[in-house]
Chain A
Amino acid sequence: MEFWFLVGVALFIWWLFRTGKIRRAHTLDAAQDRGSVRQASSRQFGPLEEYDNLAGRPAQWIASGGQVDVAGMAIKGGLFYFGESLLAQDGYRNENCLIDPRLKVTREQTNERSPHGLQYWPAYRDITPLQRLTYLHWLSGGRADPSIDIGYVFIYFYGLERRLFFDQPGSEADLLIGEVQRLQSIYGANRSFNSYSSAFLESAAFVNGELSTAPVLSHDTASFDVPLMLRTAIGLKLRDRQTLSWDWLLAWFLAHPDTYLRTPATRCFEEFKLLFERRFLERYPEGLSVRAPRRVISPHYLAASGTFTVTLDSPYGQVPDPKHLKVPIKIAREIAEAVTNELDAYSRYLGRNLNSADTMAAQLLLPRDLPLSPNSSLGRFRAYVTERTNGAMTLVPLQDLLDRLDINETGEKPSAATFKALSKALATCDFGMEPDRVYGTQSISRDSCVALFGATAGGTIDAKREAFTAARIVVELTALAIAADGVVEDSEIAFGIEQIETYQGLSSDERVRLLALLFALIHSPPQQQSLLRRLAKASETIRDSAAQIVLNVVAVDGRLDTDEIRFAEKLYKALNLPTDRLYADLHGLGAQQRRDEPTVVAKAVPGRGHRIPGPPLERNPRSEILLDATLVASKKRESARVSELLATIFVEEDVIRETNPASKSGVGTRVTFDGLDADHSTLIDALIASKEMTYGEFSAMCRDAKLFADGAIETINDWAFEKFDDAIIEEGDPIVIDPDLYGPLVELAQARRGTAL
């Protein structure tokens, strides 16, 4: 501070020295303007002449509405000092603003303006007569010509500030403040004037105790010092041990002389403020607490004219001065820096594309947690998606979404950038979609559908996590298998869902994402080839489960279509599994469904991660055999029923059926066996009698009876099955009767004779 003060003093001295020279130069200019060299030479100024001029009639303040004549011109409106002497605070010179009627003014009735600008600290007494004429014209002409050199406005302003702060007129204050505000509204574009007039107004407000409750946030407030009012407001908070809220800190930071905002912050100031607030609150939800420094504010008004400095009366008492505190500014700078970085992409986009602030593409570059205005294009997008999904997972054509994103890209498949933009847009609206390239799925064509689902921040997941990638391959495969036969059945979908829900080691976000993927893929199946290629590279566990799952899906609808099997064949080939195993596995599935056991579907899933059971019913080969008692019992029951069934077929007749004496067999005179004709009965009798005979004898007998030997044996044995449940003639040469049946046969023969007699 001291340093600056010394620099200021040095500058001031230098200026004093310099004004002397310039004044001379100006006088020469003026002489040339006027063509009056004599006059100019007679007014060779030196310090002495200034002292001379200090004497004179004291100047008076022309109040508002007052009128004076200067060089024959009537100047109306007042609000300036008029007279010959108005000493500055230092007493060595007159005020810059003083309109001294003794000074020359160009007489011509001309509207001509001096082509020469005024110097930085102008004074009425130092300007040329033509410039004085210009000034007087301006004064009498409403004091609002925006094209006037700012130096004239300053001369006028010097008067106002002297009046308010140095003379302290009391009643006139509001009028003066109003006039300065008016000037600021016209000439505020001039940085210098803006700065001085603001200082004026601020000091006036300070004195009046008009502390604002909310800080003014502007990126244009950089100055040499933190404005008094701001310091006071902050200081008061510190004195009252209040924490600093984000806006006060930001205002302080913005007004700090060391602050330099980068382009993103200034270009996107609104977003900068919003984001600054968020980030500040994240770090300091309760506000920033700062200890009040011991140094207090000493309020001064430094005149713009440089002719006086006054201490302002503080209506607040002793206020700690935050001016030298470094930590809060450092914190603010950190936050601002981070926020600026966050806005960088957005700002660059705006820089490249003019007037693009409301486009989706630009808004997507904004940090996600900026609140979304419903009227922005992103807000409209959110409304569309919300309405479309209506709280449920919904399939939406990709093209519909792209249309609403203002992304005009041609080509069958949207680019990665487009996907990223879409994914981000959805995430910003708290939605997710699948398939989503951002999460590792393949690119899809624009006419296929994506599944939308509600998820906070788009359900961000780590797509590279092994459990997830494994599960995703499984889901893709499931979808492929479901779609393999061209018919999607509810049972298949239910199976797919169950797969996902029971898959171990997934977060809920991952699960939702996979469900969405399943729905989308069922609708638009992925490319078989690419999936199979990826699968071939997958780990063994994944490949094993893949095979099993596909089989289950193929089987779950209870039908085996060629297309399904063909798909399974391809899969096994891709997995490098023997296709023989496929058929065995398929067969196992098909046959297993008949058991009164839980289906394989259920078995594949329960709680052990995704360990897939091997071929059906495979057990640990060397383990202890554990028989399922209930299964054994049910097997035995079933076997018993089978046995009964078979027993009725393979009749075991231990007791020879009672022969029926009144049977139809009694044809002719010969007595026959029941169910056998006479010729064959004779043959049996002959066999019984001889016990055994050669094939030749037998066939001779047959021929006599017009029978064939083999045919006769067939007929007799066929009959014997009815009677004895077995053949009685044992083939070969010689022909014999089965010794086991000989006895019963003889009994039967005797019984027959008995009945015949």
Chain B
Amino acid sequence: MSKSRVKSRDRDTIVQALSAGVVPRTGLHHIQVGRRLEIEAAVNDIGRIGDNGSAVRFIIGEYGSGKTFFLHLVRLIALEKRLVTVHADLAPDRRIHATGGQARNLYAELVRNLATRAKPDGGALASIVERFVADAAKEAETSSTSPDTVIESRLESLRDFVGGYDYATVLNAYWRAFESGEEEPKAGALRWLRGEFATKTDARKAIGVRTIIDDSSIYDHLKLLAAFVRLASYEGLLVVCDEMVNLYKLQSAQARNANYEQILRIVNDGLQGAGGGFGFYFGGTPEFLMDTRRGLFSYPALQSRLAENAFASDGLVDLSGPVVRLTNLTPEDLFVLLQNVRNVFAGGDPGNYLVPDDALTAFMQHCNERIGDAYFRTPRNTIKSFVQLLAVLEQNPDTDWQPLLGQVAVNPDQDDDALQDESDPDGEDGLTSFRL
């Protein structure tokens, strides 16, 4: 582990995020443990997207294996590489394909979370559109042509895409509204781009476009979005969909298959390198992948694409396939992770370490006694408690860590999934439901 200095801003962000039990927004490289090959693969993917290529990955891991952390890390890397990212968790009302507006919901959620490096927390759509339009206006100024013409010519390439014509129309409308200083058409254009129009009539009234982004066209519009962000001088678009298990939970086989068909399109485009500077990262549980009745493997075309090299033989790693398997942490992983957290707390200076290595094992032992092996398999609460322990020690420098340890409360982590789906009797921890 590089014991380089940790910036105080990073340090605070990390500490804050960890104590809240969420993935830190920045400074992930200070605490990342292992997964070198997976991360290298992700970096390569992002490089390929930046080169107008494509990528698709399924990040498969059990609850607590760090799917979300990994996806987040990938997203941050993508942002750092000047990609635009959109991300969303799938949910019963957010799917890739639907007929009742659920797919549009997903699209809306994705675009709501559209992030750039400058706006990593999402909501960057307006910024990108304005940046694009402003660039065009500026170019118009220098070349003494009308901004309309520049925008038209720049958007020319979009017209090759499905629905590209209307896309260009909407962007034009935005420019015109800006010029005329009208806020309403501007907002309308952004609403359209966010997929917030539920009916075509509304869209026509607001901005005079006859189509809307609807359930059947969200993949096409994601492609358009990818093309557009490249026009706005970003490197590409990374789409991150987590909690894919929600598709697996769809009761209707027809609905499931329709979604899997869309995923097949994405996988085909991604694996064939169809280009376009965009990539997809999906996060899901093993059953989402492997269940032969309801998982991806129930869709033969997907199965054949995803099963090969699902894991390479002879213990060799093969990440050329689209499936990346994440294991749950081991006690050793956790130990290194605790060391990293300690290092972050000390600002990267070993002289400032608040506790010795012994305390780390003692802490693990303590957690083990409280919650069993969940302490390393689903480490969220373990880390949370550890950060709190360090915080107390930091604020009370004279305190000895040993007596404090006994007072640390660790609760078993709970599967969000199980909470969402109360009908599922096999939820990981039945006690949780009672407490609710």
- Point out residues on A near B: beta carbons under 8 Å: 491, 555-562, 565-566, 569, 578-580, 583-584, 586-596, 599, 616-619, 621-622, 624-625, 627-628, 631-632, 635-636, 638-647, 649-650, 652, 677, 679, 706-715, 717-718, 720-721, 726-727, 731, 740
Residues of A within 8 A of B331 (CB): 619, 625, 627
A555, A578, A641, A714: which has the most chain B beta carbons within 10 Å? A714
Residues of A within 8 A of B287 (CB): 579-580, 583
Cβ–Cβ contact B372 & A718, under 8 A = no
Q: A622 to B77: give the CA distance in the assembly, Å.
A: 39
The verdict on A711 contacting B134 (CB below 8 Å), with A561-B307, A594-B317, A643-B2 known, is yes
Cβ–Cβ contact B311 & A558, under 8 A = yes
The verdict on A710 contacting B364 (CB below 8 Å), with A569-B292, A587-B290, A650-B76 known, is no
The verdict on A710 contacting B126 (CB below 8 Å), with A591-B327, A594-B315 known, is yes
| A452 CB → nearest B CB, Å | 32
Cβ–Cβ contact A643 & B286, under 8 A = no
List 28 contacting pairs A-B, 8 Å CB cutoff, sorted by A.
Answer: A558-B314, A565-B290, A578-B426, A587-B289, A587-B325, A588-B327, A590-B325, A591-B311, A594-B37, A599-B315, A618-B373, A622-B372, A624-B365, A625-B331, A632-B332, A635-B333, A635-B335, A635-B336, A639-B32, A639-B340, A642-B33, A642-B34, A645-B39, A646-B28, A646-B39, A649-B80, A679-B138, A714-B124
Residues of B within 8 A of A621 (CB): 368, 372-373
> Among the listed B116, B134, B317, which residue makes an inter-chain contact with A718, where contact means beta carbons less than 8 Å apart?
B116
Residues of B within 8 A of A715 (CB): 131, 134
Task: Say if the beta carbon of B421 comes within 8 Å of chain A.
Answer: no
| B412 CB → nearest A CB, Å | 12
A583, A588, A731: which has the most chain B beta carbons within 10 Å? A583
Cβ–Cβ contact B285 & A583, under 8 A = yes
A599, A706, A731: which has the most chain B beta carbons within 10 Å? A706
Q: What number of B residues sit within 8 Å (CB to CB) of A?
A: 87
Cβ–Cβ contact B311 & A590, under 8 A = yes
Interface string of B126-150 (1 = CB under 8 A from A): 1111111110011001000000000
Closest 8 CB pairs of A and B: A711-B130, A558-B313, A646-B29, A708-B130, A717-B118, A587-B286, A714-B127, A583-B286
> Among the listed B310, B327, B373, which residue makes an inter-chain contact with A560, where contact means beta carbons less than 8 Å apart?
B310
- Closest-by-CB residue of A relative to B377 is A617
List 14 additional contacts besides A558-B314, A583-B289, A596-B315; criterion CB under 8 Å: A561-B307, A579-B291, A583-B290, A584-B62, A635-B333, A635-B335, A636-B1, A644-B2, A645-B29, A650-B29, A679-B138, A706-B137, A708-B130, A727-B118
| B299 CB → nearest A CB, Å | 10
Residues of B within 8 A of A631 (CB): 330, 332
A622, A624, A649, A740: which has the most chain B beta carbons within 10 Å? A649
Task: Say if the beta carbon of B308 comes within 8 Å of chain A.
Answer: yes
Cβ–Cβ contact B131 & A706, under 8 A = no
Task: Say if the beta carbon of B4 comes within 8 Å of chain A.
Answer: yes
Q: A22 to B151: give the CA distance in the assembly, Å.
A: 153
Cβ–Cβ contact B336 & A587, under 8 A = no
| A14 CB → nearest B CB, Å | 100
The verdict on A591 contacting B315 (CB below 8 Å), with A583-B287, A619-B331, A625-B365 known, is no
Task: Say if the beta carbon of B262 comes within 8 Å of chain A.
Answer: no
Task: Say if the beta carbon of B164 comes within 8 Å of chain A.
Answer: no
Task: Say if the beta carbon of B392 comes within 8 Å of chain A.
Answer: no
- Closest-by-CB residue of A relative to B288 is A583
Q: A618 to B36: give the CA distance in the assembly, Å.
A: 24
Residues of A within 8 A of B285 (CB): 583
Task: Say if the beta carbon of B210 comes within 8 Å of chain A.
Answer: no
Residues of B within 8 A of A565 (CB): 290-292, 297
- Closest-by-CB residue of B relative to A618 is B373
The verdict on A714 contacting B39 (CB below 8 Å), with A628-B332, A632-B336, A646-B29 known, is no
> Among the listed A555, A617, A638, which residue makes an inter-chain contact with B330, where contact means beta carbons less than 8 Å apart?
A617
| A707 CB → nearest B CB, Å | 5
Residues of B within 8 A of A594 (CB): 37, 311, 315, 317, 325, 327
Task: Say if the beta carbon of B117 comes within 8 Å of chain A.
Answer: yes
> Among the listed A643, A650, A710, which residue makes an inter-chain contact with B26, where contact means beta carbons less than 8 Å apart?
A650
Q: A717 to B35: give the CA distance in the assembly, Å.
A: 31
Residues of B within 8 A of A727 (CB): 118
Q: A483 to B57: give the CA distance in the assembly, Å.
A: 30
Cβ–Cβ contact B62 & A595, under 8 A = no
Cβ–Cβ contact B335 & A627, under 8 A = yes
Task: Say if the beta carbon of B216 comes within 8 Å of chain A.
Answer: no
> Among the listed B30, B40, B286, which residue makes an inter-chain contact with A584, where contact means beta carbons less than 8 Å apart?
B286
Task: Say if the beta carbon of B349 comes within 8 Å of chain A.
Answer: no
Residues of B within 8 A of A583 (CB): 285-287, 289-291, 295
The verdict on A587 contacting B61 (CB below 8 Å), with A560-B310, A562-B307, A649-B77 known, is yes
The verdict on A652 contacting B7 (CB below 8 Å), with A595-B315, A621-B373 known, is yes
Q: A664 to B133: give the CA distance in the assembly, Å.
A: 23
Residues of B within 8 A of A593 (CB): 311-313, 315
| A305 CB → nearest B CB, Å | 99
**Which residues of B279-326 are within 8 A (CB) of A?**
285-287, 289-293, 295, 297-298, 300, 303, 307-315, 317, 325-326
Residues of A within 8 A of B27 (CB): 650
| B375 CB → nearest A CB, Å | 9
Q: A590 to B328: give the CA distance in the assembly, Å.
A: 12
- Closest-by-CB residue of B relative to A717 is B118
Q: A38 to B434: give the CA distance in the assembly, Å.
A: 137
> Among the listed A560, A618, A707, A718, which residue makes an inter-chain contact with B290, where contact means beta carbons less than 8 Å apart?
A560
> Among the listed B80, B131, B314, B373, which residue makes an inter-chain contact with A650, where contact means beta carbons less than 8 Å apart?
B80
Residues of A within 8 A of B141 (CB): 706
| A625 CB → nearest B CB, Å | 5
Q: A566 to B315: give the CA distance in the assembly, Å.
A: 24
Residues of A within 8 A of B28 (CB): 646, 650
> Among the listed B60, B61, B127, B325, which residue makes an inter-chain contact with A710, where contact means beta carbons less than 8 Å apart?
B127
Cβ–Cβ contact A646 & B311, under 8 A = no
Residues of B within 8 A of A639 (CB): 1, 32-34, 36, 336, 340
- Closest-by-CB residue of B relative to A652 is B7
Q: A513 to B138: give the CA distance in the assembly, Å.
A: 85
Residues of B within 8 A of A595 (CB): 315, 327
**Which residues of B6-24 are within 8 A (CB) of A?**
7, 9
Cβ–Cβ contact B1 & A491, under 8 A = no
| A578 CB → nearest B CB, Å | 6
Cβ–Cβ contact B336 & A643, under 8 A = no
| B4 CB → nearest A CB, Å | 7
| B188 CB → nearest A CB, Å | 16
Q: A625 to B310: give the CA distance in the assembly, Å.
A: 32
Cβ–Cβ contact A640 & B291, under 8 A = no
Cβ–Cβ contact A643 & B30, under 8 A = yes
Q: A584 to B286: give the CA distance in the assembly, Å.
A: 6
| B140 CB → nearest A CB, Å | 9
Cβ–Cβ contact A566 & B332, under 8 A = no
Residues of B within 8 A of A589 (CB): 311
The verdict on A640 contacting B1 (CB below 8 Å), with A635-B332, A650-B80, A708-B131 known, is yes
> Among the listed A580, A588, A628, A713, which residue makes an inter-chain contact with B127, where contact means beta carbons less than 8 Å apart?
A713
| A364 CB → nearest B CB, Å | 48
Residues of B within 8 A of A721 (CB): 117-118
> Among the listed A587, A592, A642, which residue makes an inter-chain contact with B36, where contact means beta carbons less than 8 Å apart?
A642
Residues of A within 8 A of B118 (CB): 713-714, 717-718, 720-721, 727
Q: A720 to B333: give the CA distance in the assembly, Å.
A: 36
The verdict on A625 contacting B307 (CB below 8 Å), with A587-B290, A708-B133 known, is no
Residues of A within 8 A of B9 (CB): 726, 740
Residues of A within 8 A of B133 (CB): 708, 711
Task: Say if the beta carbon of B154 comes within 8 Å of chain A.
Answer: no
Residues of B within 8 A of A558 (CB): 309, 311-314
Residues of A within 8 A of B2 (CB): 640, 643-644, 647
> Among the listed A628, A632, A706, which residue makes an inter-chain contact with B138, where contact means beta carbons less than 8 Å apart?
A706
Cβ–Cβ contact B308 & A559, under 8 A = yes
